[in-house]
């Protein structure tokens, strides 16, 4: 795996349905490299810190191979990097083979996988398709959010290497299925709650769902 593009943005104002919104989803590639601080990529700022950024979601990575699927599904030839607002466009990774807690080295930096993305309505605005957030969710091809383990510098074309695989974990794809498709699998949700490195945001969603299903043992 390698980094095809490093993408950043400042918050910008857009008008949607007559209302002014602020978003950082329109990310643009940097020329060569980027400094990684403990808060994320220098020069990249989030518009809504309630749902983006922070310790568990310092960077967002997405696979370029998924661009082909969305091009075919939507009838648009997507080529420009940063398609779904990702910081790192990676040439080819498989959500089924990347686990919660895995550590990834890019350049001299180290990152840890924390959760998949939960899309909001602004992704539909970005893709000019109101149905896209639902399509995206149901695909379970949601990319990866990363914590920063070691700061440093990354370059375009850097190798993306999994240097530590978390044993007895669940894959990003499995967590995505639990979030959006396998909605009543109490056993697997309980398994997810026991994952040390799964973000608290996702764990809370599973706790709330278990309560609605009448299961209070893991709450």
Residue whose token pair is 């609605």: 212
Q: What is the DSSP string of 72-113?
A: HHHT----SS-TTS-SEEES---GGG-BTT-EEEETTEEEEE
Asked whether residue 128 is assigned to any structural domain, the reply reads yes
Average pLDDT over residues 143-172: 97
Mind listing the pLDDT tens digit for each residue in 101-147?
A: 999 999 999 999 999 999 999 999 999 999 999 999 999 999 999 99
Rounded to 5°, the CA angle 175-170-24 comes to 45
Cα dihedral sign, 56-40-149-113: positive
Average pLDDT over residues 158-178: 97
Any idea what DSSP says for residue 139?
Answer: H
CATH code (residue 85): 2.40.33.20
Domain limits at 144? 3-166
Shortest CA distance to 1 belongs to which of 144, 105, 150?
105
Token pair, residue 175, equals 């967590």
Mind listing the pLDDT tens digit for each residue in 100-114?
A: 999 999 999 999 999
Q: Helices 172-180 and 200-212, interaxial angle, to 10°?
A: 40
Average pLDDT over residues 52-69: 91
Any idea what DSSP says for residue 41?
Answer: E
Shortest CA distance to 70 belongs to which of 20, 141, 156?
141
**Predicted confidence (pLDDT) at residue 47 exceeds the cutoff of 80:** no
Work out the pLDDT band at 17, boundaries 50, 70, 90: confident
Report the first-to-last Cα separation within the chain, whole angstroms: 38
**Is the pTM for the entire model greater than 0.95?**
no
Asked whether residue 204 is assigned to any structural domain, the reply reads no
Asked whether residue 81 is assigned to any structural domain, the reply reads yes
Asked whether residue 172 is assigned to any structural domain, the reply reads no
Asked whether residue 212 is assigned to any structural domain, the reply reads no
**Predicted confidence (pLDDT) at residue 51 exceeds the cutoff of 80:** no
Question: Number of folded domains in the chain?
Answer: 1
Asked whether residue 119 is assigned to any structural domain, the reply reads yes
Average pLDDT over residues 76-85: 95
Distances (CA, A) of 42 to 65, 78, 110, 129: 26, 26, 16, 30
Cα dihedral sign, 160-166-167-171: negative
Asked whether residue 40 is assigned to any structural domain, the reply reads yes
Look at 6-20, 77-91, 121-135, 177-191 and tell me which has the smallest mean pLDDT. 6-20
Asked whether residue 115 is assigned to any structural domain, the reply reads yes
């Amino acid at each position: 795996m390698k980094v095809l593009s490093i993408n950043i943005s400042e918050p910008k104002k857009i008008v949607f349905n007559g209302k002014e919104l602020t978003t950082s989803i329109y990310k643009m590639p940097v020329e060569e490299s980027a400094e990684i601080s403990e808060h994320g990529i220098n020069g990249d700022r989030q518009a809504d810190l309630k749902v983006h950024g922070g310790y568990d979601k310092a960077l967002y990575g997405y696979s370029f191979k998924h661009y082909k699927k969305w091009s075919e599904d939507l009838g648009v030839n997507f080529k420009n990097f940063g398609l779904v607002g990702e910081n790192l466009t990676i040439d080819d990774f498989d959500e089924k083979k990347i686990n919660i807690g895995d550590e990834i080295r890019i350049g001299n930096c180290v990152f840890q996988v924390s959760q998949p993305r939960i899309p909001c309505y602004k992704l539909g605005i970005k893709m000019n398709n109101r149905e896209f957030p639902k399509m995206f969710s149901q695909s379970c091809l949601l990319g990866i959010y990363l914590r920063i383990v070691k700061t440093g510098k990354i370059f375009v074309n850097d190798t993306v290497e999994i240097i530590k695989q978390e044993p007895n974990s669940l894959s990003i794809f499995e967590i995505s299925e639990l979030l959006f498709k396998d909605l009543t699998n109490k056993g697997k949700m309980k398994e997810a709650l026991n994952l040390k490195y799964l973000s608290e945001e996702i764990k809370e969603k599973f706790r709330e769902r278990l309560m609605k299903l009448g299961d209070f043992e893991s709450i």
